[in-house]
């Protein structure tokens, strides 16, 4: 993929993370474009972790390390992870176990690793609701299926969409990830939609 196109696609997929309103995001790319991911993340404090490959495309987790560690420090989240066989809760240990389970799933050896939703900052109630209701009977859907607090989720999804539109536009204008983080964070802070909101999976100032 051409460098400009990759930057735009990466910005669009990772916009909520770049705007610091989400702790982590998945980024799907062609395997031969891995070097471009490393390049666009230079001079940022973002981290990335390879998860698995589907045919010729690889899936990466792009995240803010401190914020993902906060998600993993939750007692409720740890109880959920423990029920799925996790025994260590350092970031490195959880990501290593997650990678193993993602690959086992794509090889048909285990069912879907629903803990990925926790890693992506989804509310635990929605992850458990999805499991208990087998993906049905949800209140609304957007970036995930919602089983509690539909109004809050809709506001959050609107912020994600806003960040995506702005990120794509700014990336087309030539901004890289480092500049996008600075601009998008400021725009989100100035947005009226951000006032007095508690955002699950968001990055604290």
Q: What is the pLDDT of residue 201?
A: 54
Residue 176 zone, left/alpha/beta (φ > 0; ψ -120 to 50; rest)? beta
Q: What is the pLDDT of residue 202?
A: 52
Q: How many residues make up the chain in this entry?
A: 205
Give phi and psi for 20, each to the nearest 5.
60, 35
Q: What is the pLDDT of residue 136?
A: 97
Q: What is the pLDDT of residue 87?
A: 96
**CB neighbourhood size of 87 (10 A):** 8
Closest CA to 63 of 99, 96, 17: 17
**148-155, long-range: CB within 8 Å, 24+ apart, which pairs?**
148/123, 149/123, 149/125, 152/197, 152/198, 153/126, 155/193, 155/197
Per-residue pLDDT of the chain (205 residues; tens, 9 = 90+): 788 899 999 999 999 999 999 999 999 999 888 888 888 988 899 999 999 998 889 999 999 999 999 999 999 999 999 999 999 999 999 999 999 999 999 999 999 999 999 999 999 999 999 999 999 999 999 999 999 999 999 999 999 999 999 999 999 999 999 999 999 988 887 774 544 444 455 554 3
156 contacts 167 by C-beta, under 8 angstroms: no
SS3 per-residue string spanning 61-94: EEECHHHHHHHHHCHHHHHHHHHCCCCCCCHHHH
148 contacts 129 by C-beta, under 8 angstroms: yes
d(CA 63, CA 56): 23
pTM for this structure?
0.88
Residue 61 forms beta bridges with which residues? 26, 49
* Tokens of residue 174, six digits: 């030539």
d(CA 68, CA 198): 16
């Amino acid at each position: 993929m051409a460098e400009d196109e990759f930057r735009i696609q990466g910005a669009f997929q990772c916009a909520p993370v770049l705007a610091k309103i989400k702790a982590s995001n998945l980024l799907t790319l062609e395997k031969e474009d891995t070097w471009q991911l490393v390049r666009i993340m230079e001079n940022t404090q973002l981290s990335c972790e390879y998860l698995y490959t589907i045919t010729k495309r690889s899936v990466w987790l792009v995240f803010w390390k401190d914020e993902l560690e906060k998600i993993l420090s939750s007692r409720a989240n740890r109880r959920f992870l423990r029920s799925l066989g996790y025994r260590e809760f350092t970031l490195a240990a959880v990501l290593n176990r997650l990678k193993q389970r993602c690959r086992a799933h794509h090889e048909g050896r285990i069912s879907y690793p629903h803990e990925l939703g926790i890693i992506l900052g989804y509310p635990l109630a929605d992850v458990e609701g999805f499991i208990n209701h087998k993906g049905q009977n949800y209140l609304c859907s957007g970036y995930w299926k919602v089983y509690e607090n539909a109004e809050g989720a809709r506001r959050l999804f609107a912020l994600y969409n806003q960040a995506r539109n702005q990120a794509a536009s700014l990336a087309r204008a030539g901004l890289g990830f480092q500049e996008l983080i600075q601009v998008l964070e400021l725009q989100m802070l100035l947005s009226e939609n951000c006032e007095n909101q508690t955002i699950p999976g968001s990055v604290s100032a």
